[in-house]
Chains A and B, each alone.
Chain A
C-alpha cells in the first residue's frame, strides 16, 4: 500500500477526508472559531475550520487576529482540549428507581459513538496519552473514558506556528507528532500552493488515506514539512528546564515562593479547566421530589475549590498557598510518583488563561534559582 510512505493532499483532499470519516460513522470534531476563541466542536466542512486565523497568547492574554494567508491550522491551542470529549465535563453515572418492588440501579449506558478528532497537536497527543495512563493504565479502568477513547480516529497536525506561551519542546512533547495518531498532517502554504504532507501512523490511518486522492510526497515536500516543524520548535514562547522538576519541587514544599504566588492567585480554577491533563471530578446525587428516582452525576472539579479537600468540618487545604502548591506539585512532580510521567505537556494554556498571568515556567525558575548553586 503506497500510503505507508508520506503522501500529499490538497485542501480538497482534506475535505474528502472529513467526508470519508463521516461516512464511516465517526462523529467528526475539530477546531472552530466561537466567541473570539478557537474551540473544538462538530465540523462538517473545511469552511468550519479557523481558516486565516492565528492566536496571540501571553500570560493572561488571548486574542484572535487575522493572518495574511489562508492557513487552516495557523494557530496554537485554544482554551479547550480533547478531554472535553474523552472525559466529559458532565456525565450521568447511574440512575435508580425506588418503588414497591424495591430498588433498581441502572448504570448509564456507555456511548457507542466514535470520534474523529481533527487537528490534534503533539502536546495534545501527549496529553491524551497521559490521561490514557490515568484512566486505562492502572488497577481500575474508567469505562466512560474507555468507551470514548477506543475507536477514536486521530488526525494530528504538526504545528506551523508556536504560541506565545508554548513550551512543548521543554517537556519533550512536541512540536512534531511522533505517535498516538492515525494520520498526521503538516500544512505547507507557499508559492507552490496550499498542501498537506500526510503520514499514516496506524493501519486504519493507512486504509483511510489510501482512499483519498493523493500523490507520494517528494523530497522537497518532506523538506518543507521538516522546516515548518523546525521553525515552530525554534520559536517557543516559553521554556522550562524539566529534567529536575520532580525533586526540585518535592524538596521545596515549604518555599516562600508559594506564599508569593498565593498573593496573586485567585483560585479561580481556570488553569485546571483548560489544562488537557487535569482530570479531577466530583459527584452529585440527586432525587426527584417523591424520592422515587435518584441518580448520580459526575462533573469536572478543581483542586482549587475551597471544599475539594473537605474533611471533618473543614478543608485540609484551606489556604490559597496550599491549593496552588497542590496543583503545581501534582502537575510537575507527584504525577511522576503516581503515573510515571510528568503531568505537563507544555501547551501553555494555564499561562494564557490565568486572569493574572501566573506562569508555571516562571514559578519553577524562581524556586530553582533561589537554591544555592
Chain B
C-alpha cells in the first residue's frame, strides 16, 4: 500500500500527519475514480466515505421542485468532499457530481470512525483537521446567503 500512503500523506488535508496515524487512516483508504457526470453520492444515501480529491472537480448540488438542480459549491484538487460522515445519522445532505474525470481517495467512514473511537488521539487529530474546513465553508456560505450581488429589495 506504499503508493496509497504516499498519496494520502501528500494530500493537503493530511499534510503533516504523523506516521502512525497515517497508517491507521490508510487502512481505511482506497483509490477511486469517477467519470465526468457521474455522481459520487446522492442526498439521503448513507455517508459511507469521505473523499480526498486528487484530480478533477466536483459540484455539490441540491434539487428543488420547479428549480431543478442548483449547484451551491464546487470543490477541486486538494480539497475534501463530505463532512456528514462525522455526525449521526451519517447521511448525505446533498448530491455530489463529478464535473471532470475525478481521481480520489475514498476513506471508509465506518472504518475510520471505529479507529477514532479506539484511539482518541487519532480522533482528535481528525477533528482538528475537519473543523477548519467546516468553519471556512460556513463563512463562505454566510457570504452566499447575504446575496451581496443581489438587487436590493
A interface vs B, CB < 8 Å? 312-314
**Does B153 reach chain A (CB closer than 8 Å)?**
yes
By a CB distance below 8 angstroms, the chain B residues around A314 are 152
Alpha-carbon gap, A314 to B151, bound state (A): 12
Interface size on B, residues (CB 8 A): 3
**Would you give the 0/1 interface string for B119-153, flagging 1 where the beta carbon is closer than 8 Å to chain A?**
00000000000000000000000000000000111
Alpha-carbon gap, A313 to B153, bound state (A): 7
**Would you give the 0/1 interface string for B74-114, flagging 1 where the beta carbon is closer than 8 Å to chain A?**
00000000000000000000000000000000000000000
By a CB distance below 8 angstroms, the chain A residues around B153 are 313
> Which residue in chain A gives the minimum CB-CB distance to B152?
A313
Alpha-carbon gap, A325 to B151, bound state (A): 29
| A-B residue pair count with CB separations less than 8 angstroms | 5
Alpha-carbon gap, A312 to B152, bound state (A): 6
Alpha-carbon gap, A313 to B152, bound state (A): 5
> Which residue in chain B gives the minimum CB-CB distance to A314?
B152
By a CB distance below 8 angstroms, the chain B residues around A313 are 151-153
The 3 residue pairs across chains A and B that have the minimum distance between CB atoms: A313-B152, A312-B152, A314-B152
By a CB distance below 8 angstroms, the chain A residues around B151 are 313
Alpha-carbon gap, A350 to B103, bound state (A): 71
Alpha-carbon gap, A314 to B150, bound state (A): 14
Whole-angstrom distance from the CB of A318 to the nearest CB of chain B? 13
By a CB distance below 8 angstroms, the chain B residues around A312 are 152
> Which residue in chain A gives the minimum CB-CB distance to B151?
A313
By a CB distance below 8 angstroms, the chain A residues around B152 are 312-314
Whole-angstrom distance from the CB of A18 to the nearest CB of chain B? 57
Alpha-carbon gap, A312 to B151, bound state (A): 8
Alpha-carbon gap, A239 to B45, bound state (A): 74
Alpha-carbon gap, A314 to B152, bound state (A): 8
A-B contact pairs, 5 of them (CB 8 A): A312-B152, A313-B151, A313-B152, A313-B153, A314-B152
> Which residue in chain B gives the minimum CB-CB distance to A313?
B152
> Which residue in chain B gives the minimum CB-CB distance to A312?
B152
Alpha-carbon gap, A141 to B152, bound state (A): 36
Whole-angstrom distance from the CB of A218 to the nearest CB of chain B? 71
> Which residue in chain A gives the minimum CB-CB distance to B153?
A313
Alpha-carbon gap, A67 to B152, bound state (A): 59
Whole-angstrom distance from the CB of A310 to the nearest CB of chain B? 11
B36-68 CB contacts (< 8 Å) to partner A: none
Whole-angstrom distance from the CB of B149 to the nearest CB of chain A? 11
Alpha-carbon gap, A314 to B153, bound state (A): 9
Alpha-carbon gap, A218 to B143, bound state (A): 77
Alpha-carbon gap, A372 to B153, bound state (A): 45
Whole-angstrom distance from the CB of A312 to the nearest CB of chain B? 5
